[in-house]
Amino acid sequence: MHSSESVAQSSFALGIKSHIKRAMLKAKRGGEWFSLDRKEKSILYLSVRLKLKFESLDLLRSLASILKKLEERGESLYACIQRGMKIAWRFSEFAVSCGNLEAKGWRNDRAYAVFLGSMSLHSGAFGA
């Protein structure tokens, strides 16, 4: 019976580590990783690299808090891009109709979309 508990504990730890690895990769690709402080990054790195049983409630709470922060930042970045792309298209269409044919490039400019989206979401600019 004791060996089945250790197998279950081992698969639980592997599941957590796998989830953390996926979250880290997604955060690095999305840019949210760089918003974490050194302590938070270290907790995630060590949780993946060390042989841990994840029995400490404090450790699990810390991991959950950090992963939630990454998820929220990823969602807000996605919302900024999505909203910003709509605004960029509107601005582009208007500028093209006024004769600025180079404004078509605004439609696919991710940095411009993030800027417009964050301005829109945080300041209420550009009319919701």
Tell me the average pLDDT across 116-127: 70
Higher pLDDT, 78 or 126: 78
Q: Per-residue pLDDT averaged across 9-35, rounded? A: 81
> Taking a C-beta distance cutoff of 8 angstroms, is the pair 109, 85 a contact?
no
Contact, 89 vs 52, CB < 8 A?
Answer: no
Is the whole model's pTM more than 0.85, yes or no? no
Q: Note whether 83 and 106 are within 8 A (CB).
A: no
Query: Is the pLDDT at 3 greater than 80, yes or no?
Result: no
